[in-house]
Structure 1
Amino acid sequence: MAVNDALKARMVELGLTQVELSERMNDAIHTLTGTRGTVSARTVHNLMCGHTGWPHAKQRMALEIVFGCPATELGFTPRTRAPVTTPQENDAVLRRTFTHAATGLAIGAAAPRPAGPDTRRRIGAGDIQRLHAKFAQIITRDHRQGGRLTIETQALGLAGEALGLLQHGSASQRIQNAVYATAASFTSSAMWAAIDGRRFDAAQRHFDRASSLAGMSGDLTIQFRIWSHAGSLYRHLGRPVDALAANDAARRLAITRRDPLFAALGHARHAAIHGVQGDIGAIQRTLGRAQEAFERAKDDEPRPVWMTAFFDRAELHSLATAAHLSARDYATAEAHAHRSLAALRPELERTRAITTARLCQAQLGQDDIGPAVRTAMTIDQDTLMHPRVMGMLTGFTNALHRRAPTSSQTRLWDAYAREHLRRTL
């Protein structure tokens, strides 16, 4: 049997060991079926070494959820002759194939298809409410932890659960659109978790699926979120032209004319992209538009949970910090960072860590070595392993050694790093 190099490469990309992948797969199977899987490290070893050329249905779906791509892209080849399967497994495969062709998202359902049309239940508002409650939990975890592969995996599994409803039951057009919108929301959360965790290839795949689902839903708010996330993805990839185009797609949606808060977020993220280009004038103009739109927004306007969970005055200043920091306007970046931290809600732990990391970089950019080191040392240790925080502190350490290699503050930071950041620096 040939070694499965494609699977091994994806595992390396995500930093997964055989044991960790088995745990992720068992989590995904639990999401799909309600029962935790029995995948072991030995199972994964067989998948990697080619002993298992085409996993059974639940394992395939779990792999697709974990890696965000079809099993065929993971080095597996379907059997040329029809295998002997149970009715449930065969039906699940057909269901997955149908949904993948229809939406571009490989999913599995949590239960077998009902026997006939008379047994198909009606999907209603209560089903949508239950999905929204799960989505709110994803949002809460994302803002507390962020970037975790487990968040990405769970979000994809819940997108599959949402779409599975349409395969089991009947629904009005309104409810069907709501299901697609919810599935798009879950997939966009997986996309953001991948961006936040620096898994950019996976983020691009999630974007493709999320944008397809959002288009089928007709929901402008989730379309805004997805295109805005795409702008952030391309900004982090150092592709400002693509980032501006994607964010413009978000800013052109009618929701930005109906609700100034969406316009404010669109403008603020546009300013962050201009920061990558070093265009101070464009940053100032776009932030001015963001501020003006933010002041016009009404607090009592009904908005999706993903928007209300994070976008406020603190986030506006955080994006301004990112814009000016990228443009090396360090003094202005520091001022916005202080304003953001002062207004930040306590539950947004990841945002606090990222903004604090930006603050220490801004201080270092002004040669304020002591304040910069003291600021960096205030970052909560529970957030130090976040990939974005890790990357910024790595950059901070390198810049500190370039600016003040023999400083006592540099030695202080190095000692702190050895004690607390062994796994990151």
Structure 2
Amino acid sequence: MASSEATSSPPMPTPPPRPNLAFRQLRGRRSPAEFAAAVRRAAREIGERVSCDARYVGRVEAGEIRCPNYAYERVFLHMFPGRTLTDLGFAPRSSVRGRRTHTADETPGAYEPYEREEPYGTQDREHDEPDVHHAHHENHPTYDNYEESDVLRRAFMTGGGATVAAASLGPIGLAFDAAAAGRAVRRPGTSDAYALEDAVRRIRLLDDRHGADGLYRRASAPLRAAYALLDAGATRQATADRLHSGAGELAISVGWLAHDSGRFDDARSHYAEALATARMTGDDALEAHAFCNTAFLARDAGRPREAVRAAQAAQRVGRPLGSARLMSLLALREAGGWAGLADRAGCEQALARAQALFERGPSDADPEWMSFYGEAELEGLEAQCWSTLGDWRRAARHARQAARLQDPHFSRNIALYTAELSDDLARGGRPDEAAAAGMRVLDLLDQVQSSRIQTMLAGTARVLLPHRRATGVSGFLERHASLPRTA
């Protein structure tokens, strides 16, 4: 146990972080988002898994990450052969391990904040080696505060025996210790904020790879943990703002899991919770995100006019954020609403805006959560609009392009776009091609659990029933009929 504050040495003054100019120079003219994409590609080349994004690159360049974790180290050295970590502007690993002199009643090694190798069976954590001069907790300047909070550690990080319902997802420690949350023995600090932000990334990554159904049954626990942190209250306003933003983003992520698994009422509640959090703290970025998802949900739930209003509200609040890609996505959300209202002109105008804004390219202002929004998603959302308008030929063309462009890493989106393609082909009078596309989706269902995709396939199967004699249709229908039915 750490010694009491009465006998502890006074904390040292906190020096400002030193920017990593060498790393910034290596990025060159690429934006942080473009450089992050290059890091992810390099990781795949050597079989690593890192969830690098623009925010991570910014943290490195600002000097907040003095030394990367081992997975990132391997990727960076692969990207820049012949260089050492020091050449890349990082500090030697030994200098940031945070060892200190122990008193007689302390256990050596008790204050090691992270394992030497990637713990919990994953290599995509954003919790890199912390700078011990900057990670101290607001209230308790002892070293044990560099560890993640007990609540968040249990809620998001532990390997344990908890699974995300589907065996393909593997252990992900979303177990929640209600007693730990109830004790609230200290106020949350920056380590809690980092842990919360990392939890949001983990959920998004798993959803991209596997779909929402298995995840949703576990995701309410970390959300309760996040709001327990808000109830405890942070000392610093900056930390409180990060916790509110993180909790709101987590509510949206959990809401999306509900949305994608067909639990529309639950999703609506989670999105409303995020919207209330955003308005309470004046967080325009969070409010735009909440309205964005609300618009998508309203479209799927058969409330197209609400979808248009929510998308337009998102555009009003999101415009000052300066992200053309965000405004492009919000225009697509509006287009989906107009399509649901059978307003072809309104839909086409919104689609044209979305395309023009997308062509402006990525920027540093793009929100982190928009990492999924690339050319493939643009094509996929446009396909959905044309499908809603009954233009099956055009819808199929965009859906095919979406599936072709999608990074093969994201099985869930490939399955989604291909299911859209199958349905458009079936309704457009091309049953043999529809069956072939449907078979490709069925091949992915051992990796992906999404009620949305299964519902789309069921609709396609009904359309194809009168076409059993067409090439491949009978085989698709038989295989689809043999699928286990979700509860």
- TM-based fold match above 0.5: yes
Aligned pairs for 1:1-40 (under 5 A) are 31=155
Q: Distance in 2 between matches of 1:316 and 1:37?
A: 38
Instruction: Give the drift of 1:348.
Output: 1.9
CA contact (8 A) 1:34 1:110 kept: no
Out of 88, 110, 113, the position equivalent to 2:181 is: 110
Q: Structure 2 counterpart of 1:139, which letter?
A: R
CA contact (8 A) 2:285 2:318 kept: no
CA contact (8 A) 2:376 2:401 kept: yes
Out of 155, 161, 176, the position equivalent to 2:240 is: 176
Out of 347, 360, 377, the position equivalent to 2:422 is: 360
Moved more, 169-178 or 356-365: 169-178
Q: Structure 1 counterpart of 2:417, which letter?
A: T
Out of 165, 176, 195, the position equivalent to 2:259 is: 195
Aligned to 1:323: 385
| TM-score for the superposition, normalised by structure 1 | 0.69
SS at match of 2:184: coil
Q: Which runs of 5+ in 1 are unaligned?
A: 1-27, 39-61, 66-88, 93-107, 115-119
CA contact (8 A) 1:32 1:109 kept: no
Q: Distance in 1 between matches of 2:224 and 2:472?
A: 51
**Cα shift readout 1:356-415 (whole Å, capped 9, x = no counterpart):** 01101111122111111111101113256520111111111111124x255454322222
Cα distance, 1:396–1:135 mapped onto 2, change above 3 Å = same
Aligned to 1:44: none
Q: Structure 2 counterpart of 1:346, which letter?
A: P
The answer to whether the aligner puts 1:130 opposite 2:195 as a matched pair is: yes
Aligned pairs for 1:6-405 (under 5 A) are 31=155, 110=181, 112-114=183-185, 120-121=186-187, 123-148=188-213, 150-151=215-216, 153-154=218-219, 156-168=220-232, 170-255=234-319, 258-297=322-361, 299-308=362-371, 310-379=372-441, 380-382=444-446, 385-402=449-466, 404-405=467-468
Q: Distance in 2 between matches of 1:417 and 1:127?
A: 45
Q: Distance in 2 between matches of 1:271 and 1:258?
A: 21
Q: Distance in 1 between matches of 2:475 and 2:234?
A: 64
| TM-score for the superposition, normalised by structure 2 | 0.60
Percent of matched pairs sharing the same residue: 26
SS at match of 1:358: helix
Q: Distance in 2 between matches of 1:372 and 1:258?
A: 41
Q: Structure 2 counterpart of 1:332, which letter?
A: R
Q: Structure 1 counterpart of 2:275, which letter?
A: S
CA contact (8 A) 2:261 2:450 kept: yes
CA contact (8 A) 1:188 1:226 kept: yes
Q: Which runs of 5+ in 2 are unaligned?
A: 1-151, 163-174
**Cα shift readout 1:239-293 (whole Å, capped 9, x = no counterpart):** 1111111111111114466111110000112112222223322222111100111
Q: Structure 2 counterpart of 1:318, which letter?
A: G
CA contact (8 A) 2:307 2:333 kept: no
CA contact (8 A) 1:390 1:424 kept: no
Q: Structure 2 counterpart of 1:200, which letter?
A: F
In the alignment of these two chains, the number of paired residues is 323
Q: Structure 2 counterpart of 1:345, which letter?
A: D
Q: Distance in 1 between matches of 2:308 and 2:394?
A: 22
Q: Distance in 1 between matches of 2:236 and 2:288?
A: 24
Q: CA RMSD in A?
A: 3.1
Cα distance, 1:34–1:401 mapped onto 2, change above 3 Å = closer
Q: Distance in 1 between matches of 2:201 and 2:321?
A: 26
The structure with the greater share of residues assigned to helix is 1
Q: Distance in 2 between matches of 1:133 and 1:385?
A: 23
Q: Distance in 2 between matches of 1:256 and 1:392?
A: 37
Instruction: Give the drift of 1:29.
Output: 13
